[in-house]
Amino acid sequence: MEFIKIRFTNDFDRMGSKFEKTIAEMFHTMNPMISFAKSSWKPPIDIFETPDSILITAEIAGVEKEDLELEINSRAIRISGRRIPMPSADNGRYRLAEIQYGVFERIMHLPVMIDPEKVTASYKKGLLQINLTKLTHETSYKIPISDE
């Protein structure tokens, strides 16, 4: 059995500022060749929640498992990787090119805290499935107060 790399972290500051992303998105809509952000495309994602878990499914067909990276902490998850373009014939030209290639990144802030030690991930038929177990409600403790 092969595994997808999962890295646990508390640092999601690499996302960049909202201002930089807004500027990049504005220029990208005017000219798709201009990109300031690290990611060049974003795979579609479904997030399904049950009382005990969160299931995330990312559609990333054509991406090799070795080119995927998954980072997680108790409040956020980052999926990144790259899709390499298929080689094209030298004597032809595209009539339609809708498939996006290059690096991608999706960062999702989770609505509840999850247990990073109980995360499972699988990749089959172009779908990355990540199963996150929710943390049980925080337990409060009474702390005795001394006379000193």
Domain ranges for the chain: 6-84+96-133
Q: State the average pLDDT over residues 120-140.
A: 87
Q: What angle do CA 95, 98, 101 make, to 5 degrees?
A: 120
Q: Edge-to-edge strand order for the sheet containing 45-49?
A: 45-49, 53-59, 127-133, 120-124
Provide the CATH topology of domain 6-84+96-133.
Immunoglobulin-like (2.60.40)
Give pLDDT tens digits for 66-88.
Answer: 999 999 988 899 999 999 988 88
User: Which pLDDT belongs to residue 50?
Assistant: 93
Band (107; pLDDT cuts 50, 70, 90): very high
Strand partners, 108: 77
- Flag whether pLDDT at 127 surpasses 70: yes
Least confident of 26-40, 89-103, 112-126: 26-40
Mean pLDDT of the chain: 79
Q: What angle do CA 10, 16, 22 make, to 5 degrees?
A: 140
Q: State the average pLDDT over residues 37-58.
A: 87
